Amino acid sequence: MSISYAPAGKTGKWDGVMDWLQMLSGASLILFMWCHMLLVSSVVISPDAMNAIAHFFEATGMAQVGGPLIFLVFLTHFVLAARKIPFRFDGQKTVMQHAKMMRHGDTWLWVVQAVSAMIILIMGSIHMWVVLTDLPITAAKSAARIQGGFWAVFYLILLPLTELHVGIGFYRIGVKWGFVKDTKRSKFKRGENLLTMMFIAIGLITLVRFLFLSVN
């Protein structure tokens, strides 16, 4: 009996470790995305403000080192989360059937998060590659890229998907790890929805600012 239970015990232990790593990497990315959005949106105040912030990160080497590090955390988080995402059609069909049958809001949130993760993996990787291979970051350079047309549409898709994914992740971390009690869940969800809409609004205002920013 002891031999048959050993593999299950080890598997359970490693699943727990990977769940913790998934939570920590997810929380780190949530914090990064909120800070990133606020820093980029400084262009709304002034292009010089954004340039000064970007120059600080590049002069201290934080952009050159931090950028690849964030990308590594990004990929690690996806690999850890992918353990629970069905990639085969029959698995996906089963998940959708269960979600429809259970009619549980949090289950649908997980479905939205899983689907958005696939899109963000591709689009987010493209975004980071384009930015990190074209340093230094400047307001004029970012504006020129967005005013090209393609990138405006690109970010109009990536922005809400990312903020939606981040917001759901923030909520699910709070609920899953016991930071949010059942009696406070609905209130916390409303706050998370408000926060998500706020960051989407900030992102859209920032995009509009880039669209009308002089690049000369």
Q: Is 127 annotated as a binding residue?
A: yes
Q: Are 146 and 198 in contact (CB under 8 A)?
A: no
- CB contact at 8 A, 64 and 58: yes
Model confidence over 24-33: pLDDT tens digits?
A: 888 889 999 9
What pLDDT, in 10s, does the model give residues 127-156? 988 888 888 888 888 898 888 878 889 999
Instruction: Please work out, in degrees rounded to the nearest 5, the angle formed at the alpha carbon of residue 173 by the alpha carbons of 167 and 174.
Output: 95
Confidence of residue 5 (pLDDT cuts 50, 70, 90): very low
Residue 36 annotated as binding? yes
Q: Per the structure block, which two tokens stand in for 196?
A: 């998500």
pLDDT value for 203: 92
The mean per-residue pLDDT over the stretch 46-68 comes to: 86
What's the pLDDT score for residue 62?
Answer: 79
- For residue 209, give Cα distances in angstroms to 51, 65, 94, 97, 148: 14, 28, 44, 43, 14
Tell me: the pLDDT tens digits for 94-105? 555 555 555 555
- The set of residues, in sequence order, having a beta carbon less than 8 Å from that of 203 and lying 6+ positions away, is 37, 41, 155, 159, 160, 163
Q: What is the dihedral of CA 53, 160, 120, 176, to 10 degrees?
A: 100
Check the annotation: does 55 bind a ligand: no
Per residue in 32-49, pLDDT (tens digit) is 999 888 899 999 999 999
Q: How much is the pLDDT for 197?
A: 92
Whether residue 177 has pLDDT greater than 80: no
pLDDT of residue 20: 83
Contact 67, 128 (CB under 8 A): yes
CA-nearest of 144, 171, 163, 151 to 203 is 163
Q: Using the 8-state DSSP alphabet, how is residue 186 labeled?
A: H
Domains of the chain: 2-211 (1.20.1300.10)
For range 89-97, the mean pLDDT: 52
